[in-house]
Structure 1
Amino acid sequence: MKKTILFIALALTIISCDKKTEVSGEEKTAYIDTSKLLDEYTQAKDIEAKYKAKSEQMGKELDLEIKNFQSDAANFQRNAQANGQAWAQQNGAALQKREQELTYKQQAMMQQLQRESGAEMDTLVKSVKLYIKEYGKQKGYGYIYGTGESATILYAKDKYDITEEVVTAINEKFKKDGRLVAPEALKTDDKKEEKK
Structure 2
Amino acid sequence: MSINSNLWLGLVLAAVIGYLAWERLADRRVVFVDTISLVESYQMKKELSASLERDFQVKKGVFDSLKTYFVLDTTNAAVRRQLFDLEQQLAQLQEDYQGISTTVWNRINPLLAEFGKEKGYDIIVGANGMGTVLYGKPAIDITQEVLDYINKEYEAK
Question: Unpaired segments of 5 or more residues in structure 1?
Answer: 1-24, 74-94, 178-196
What fraction of aligned residue pairs are identical, expressed as a percent? 24
Match of 2:22 in 1: none
User: In the alignment, what sits opposite 1:18?
Assistant: none
Shift of 1:137: 1.0
The match for 2:149 among 165, 169, 173 is 169
Structure 2 match to 1:113: 93
Judged with a 3 Å threshold, the aligned counterparts in structure 2 of structure 1 residues 150 and 108 are, in CA distance, closer, same or farther, namely farther
Q: CA deviation at 1:102?
A: 7.0
**Aligned residue number for residue 37 of structure 2:** 36
Q: Distance in 2 between matches of 1:26 and 1:165?
A: 16
Kindly state the Cα deviation for residue 132 of structure 1 after the two structures are TM-superposed: 0.5
Q: Contact 2:30/2:124 (CA < 8 Å) preserved in 1?
A: yes
Q: C-alpha deviations, 1:71-125, integer Å up to 9, x for none?
A: 225xxxxxxxxxxxxxxxxxxxxx4988976775454233201222233331211
Deviation at 1:56, TM superposition (A): 0.7
Tell me, in whole angstroms, the C-alpha distance in 2 between the residues paired with 1:96 and 1:170. Answer: 51
Structure 2: gaps spanning 5 or more residues: 1-25
**Partner Cα distance (2:94, 2:130) in 1:** 20
CA distance in 2, matches of 1:124, 1:158: 25
Aligned match for 1:128, one of 101, 104, 108 = 108
Q: Structure 2 length normalisation: TM-score?
A: 0.72
Structure 2 equivalent of residue 58 of structure 1? 59
Residue matched to 1:12: none
Q: CA RMSD in A?
A: 2.7
Letter paired with 2:111: Y
Q: Which is helix-richer, 1 or 2?
A: 1
* TM-score (ref. length: structure 1): 0.58
* CA radius of gyration, larger in: 1
After superposing on structure 2, the runs of 4+ consecutive aligned residues of structure 1 that deviate more than 6 Å are 96-100
2:70 maps to what in 1? 69
Task: Give the secondary structure class of the aligned counterpart of 1:113.
Answer: helix
CA distance in 2, matches of 1:152, 1:96: 54
Pair 1:154–1:49, CA change in 2 (3 A): same
Aligned length: 132
Tell whether the 8 Å contact from 2:63 to 2:87 is kept in structure 1 after alignment: no
CA contact (8 A) 1:30 1:162 kept: yes
- Map 1:82-161 onto structure 2 (within 5 A): 95=75, 104-105=84-85, 107-150=87-130, 152-161=132-141
